[in-house]
Structure 1
């Protein structure tokens, strides 16, 4: 089923006939009626209790709509700092101080009393806990193939131009992998900036969309995304790690009633503490991801600044139809064709879905809404770009220059294409 009317009357808001896509709950294409509904048949559980999932979806839908309404009518040039961001930073600082306090207390107990003594065991336990809860700074993905400026001068030059256009620093590391995706992150204690380009995606994009992709990813270095901050990272991981540490494991198999009761009470305390820590983790992550979604809107704005509004919206449509892109690339690779065929196939796929695409974008407003979504729904991101003054590309990527970049990446394309074709 592609698009069907529901046959149940008209939209109670505007009187239009509701629509459906692939068996989804019907909604109104004209006014978004019923897009906030919880579609239990099409959503994987988040908490495992349907009544909780239904209510958290309703809350997420309200927050997502409110954020869009707050941002659509004002400039996105400066990320600033919202209440959610300030709260996340404050909690992260407290958690870091707490872990440092555990380590200091553990070291003090090691030397405070003459050895041997029971305090040493407690000191070792506190130090081990501090080590387990320490902030992680990340490392390069093992699948990432790093490209030096000598290996890919044209690609590095283009990245430098786009970085200048969006006011972002150039990445320290540029790499490619075989995913239909791209990402920007910072790794290590020195926070080295990393830009990773998925070659099936890169090869399937035309020039303006490629520039928009670079603008979006490089924009993450200046858009205030909390997920990439060394100070805010503890708020997103530390309580979750602590909850996992205290989670009871295994069954009670003690001999004797007193020992069995003691172990049962210990497991009860451990389970309660683990659940409390996990609840705190959920609240903090949900709060921080509100700010992360705000940062994604700004990254989209920077994508439009670099590659033009048309390039940025085309990029969103290609990502929305990632499964179709994967099919196009697999078929082209099996036929012995390279990225030029990937782009042509993707263009045909988008053209063939022209009538369906607006509904697919709209349906994401329901299906991509979550308290734990790092990105706003693709439909709202597309609307945000279209609602603003159209932008022309700040950086032009001609076909000749794109061909030179593809030549630099030729052997990487072959490897990525083979891996994707074998994964089917």
Structure 2
């Protein structure tokens, strides 16, 4: 419900009445005064101390606004390497070199001195640490149902058509799961491209939004997203893994005084080292994710190129309304109805919220602002697309073709519906 706080509070910059929805901190819808303000009651703590969270939110707001201003007036595909991306790659290379040095030193210590000796213990410790910190390349998640071309020829054909239109490579693995989400990534040493479509989301989207979703996710294969590069993943994961590794374990209670003193000193050293590594992890994540947010803007541009600006912005509005979409899917599934009912319910929900959506987009700018967010606020993403040249759809998904695709997925829809129906 929208509450316009006319007469209660006015904007100190332009004098207009402030607005609020969802009991959020009021802001000015016209000049956006106070939209970047920290709303402690509605925003989850990130570092645990409100005075630090307030400052990190302020820094995130400044960086996010600066990035938006730098990108809104230029071709996104020609932005090139960012400083954050280059720094992330450099740090990843150093971390990988450090892990390799640990492993080599460990092996050398095993054979450098006559056995037995303390160097063997130290060597094994180095090798174990190198194994614990090694980069992980991932695999196809067990909850993903891989769809072969024989099982889903229409869906494969649509994915290939969208990929061709936006100049992206075709995924080597196409799958579905039961989440209200979709993602593209690379898995394994061979870095196989994986596209996974969450069926509650896919089934709730109309034709243009489906094409936009494919354009956005396939765009991640060509937009330089730091989260998906084999040379950048170590910077985003290794220090966090090391911090977990050195986190102090629970101590004993029945040991003697000397043992307790030793344990206490060991825990202090482990805690300090773990916190230091964690701070480094946060600093790297905050730096690298600037590049990730830039990649999301480019993926949105790919979505608009495939589905047109209208389809891409509609997709963003659906993603802003995931709670409503989840409710629609759950209620329809409990009534034994499938994706056609999911789409109809989502369309009705968006139509009912048409007057509220501009404020929801604005509020997302505040509530999705974070140093550690992988995506820019949905409101800024919508604004970025609206500010750029209008694009007509390059791929049109007709109702008949969408029905054929849904028929290929009927068994998977039934399972996704059963899971959604049981969710509270």
Q: Name the TM-score class by shorter chain.
A: over 0.9
1:328 is aligned to 2:328: yes
Contact 2:16-2:30 within 8 A present in 1 as well:
yes
Q: Look up the SS of the partner of 2:78 in the other structure.
A: coil
Q: After TM superposition, give the deviation of residue 252 of structure 1 in Å.
A: 5.4
Q: Look up the SS of the partner of 1:189 in the other structure.
A: coil
CA distance in 2 between counterparts of 1:67 and 1:29 reads 21
Deviating more after overlay: 252-261 vs 157-166: 252-261
Equivalence for 2:415: 415
CA distance in 1 between counterparts of 2:417 and 2:256 reads 62
Q: Look up the SS of the partner of 1:171 in the other structure.
A: coil
CA distance in 2 between counterparts of 1:78 and 1:337 reads 45
Q: Look up the SS of the partner of 2:9 in the other structure.
A: coil
Distance change >3 Å, CA 255–CA 213, structure 1 → 2: closer
Contact 2:242-2:277 within 8 A present in 1 as well:
yes
CA distance in 2 between counterparts of 1:298 and 1:191 reads 21
Contact 1:328-1:346 within 8 A present in 2 as well:
yes
Q: Look up the SS of the partner of 1:3 in the other structure.
A: strand
RMSD of aligned residue pairs (Cα, Å)? 1.2
Contact 1:200-1:326 within 8 A present in 2 as well:
yes
Q: Look up the SS of the partner of 2:324 in the other structure.
A: helix
Contact 2:43-2:367 within 8 A present in 1 as well:
yes
Deviating more after overlay: 72-81 vs 51-60: 72-81
1:30-89: per-residue Cα shift (whole Å, max 9, x none)? Answer: 111101111000011111111111111111111111111111111111351111111100
CA distance in 1 between counterparts of 2:357 and 2:36 reads 19
Contact 1:79-1:224 within 8 A present in 2 as well:
no
Equivalence for 2:124: 124
Q: Look up the SS of the partner of 1:277 in the other structure.
A: helix
Equivalence for 1:382: 382
1:164-196: per-residue Cα shift (whole Å, max 9, x none)? Answer: 111110001000111111000111111010000
Contact 2:109-2:119 within 8 A present in 1 as well:
yes
CA distance in 1 between counterparts of 2:134 and 2:170 reads 29
1:207-254: per-residue Cα shift (whole Å, max 9, x none)? Answer: 111100000000000000000011111100101111111111113547
Contact 1:72-1:384 within 8 A present in 2 as well:
yes
Q: After TM superposition, give the deviation of residue 3 of structure 1 in Å.
A: 2.5
Contact 2:4-2:17 within 8 A present in 1 as well:
no
Q: After TM superposition, give the deviation of residue 260 of structure 1 in Å.
A: 3.3
CA distance in 1 between counterparts of 2:358 and 2:49 reads 32
What is the aligned length?
424
Equivalence for 2:112: 112
Equivalence for 1:372: 372
Q: Look up the SS of the partner of 2:77 in the other structure.
A: coil
Contact 2:219-2:299 within 8 A present in 1 as well:
yes
Map 1:339-350 onto structure 2 (within 5 A): 339-350=339-350
Structure 2 unmatched runs, 5+: none
Equivalence for 2:399: 399
Q: Look up the SS of the partner of 1:77 in the other structure.
A: helix
CA distance in 2 between counterparts of 1:374 and 1:396 reads 29
Q: Look up the SS of the partner of 1:7 in the other structure.
A: strand
CA distance in 2 between counterparts of 1:388 and 1:149 reads 36
Map 1:207-226 onto structure 2 (within 5 A): 207-226=207-226
CA distance in 2 between counterparts of 1:113 and 1:137 reads 35
Equivalence for 2:306: 306
Deviating more after overlay: 328-337 vs 170-179: 328-337
Contact 2:18-2:27 within 8 A present in 1 as well:
yes
Contact 2:251-2:263 within 8 A present in 1 as well:
no
CA distance in 1 between counterparts of 2:363 and 2:265 reads 48
Q: Look up the SS of the partner of 1:197 in the other structure.
A: strand
Contact 1:37-1:58 within 8 A present in 2 as well:
yes
Contact 1:236-1:285 within 8 A present in 2 as well:
yes
CA distance in 1 between counterparts of 2:340 and 2:129 reads 53
Q: After TM superposition, give the deviation of residue 333 of structure 1 in Å.
A: 1.9
Q: After TM superposition, give the deviation of residue 257 of structure 1 in Å.
A: 4.4
Equivalence for 2:203: 203
Q: After TM superposition, give the deviation of residue 264 of structure 1 in Å.
A: 2.2
Q: Look up the SS of the partner of 1:8 in the other structure.
A: strand
Contact 1:6-1:26 within 8 A present in 2 as well:
no
Q: After TM superposition, give the deviation of residue 255 of structure 1 in Å.
A: 4.6
Equivalence for 1:146: 146
Equivalence for 1:56: 56
Equivalence for 1:92: 92
Contact 1:79-1:298 within 8 A present in 2 as well:
no
Contact 2:236-2:284 within 8 A present in 1 as well:
yes
Equivalence for 2:285: 285
Q: Look up the SS of the partner of 2:143 in the other structure.
A: coil
Q: Look up the SS of the partner of 1:9 in the other structure.
A: strand
TM-score, normalization: structure 2?
0.98
Equivalence for 1:164: 164
Equivalence for 2:243: 243
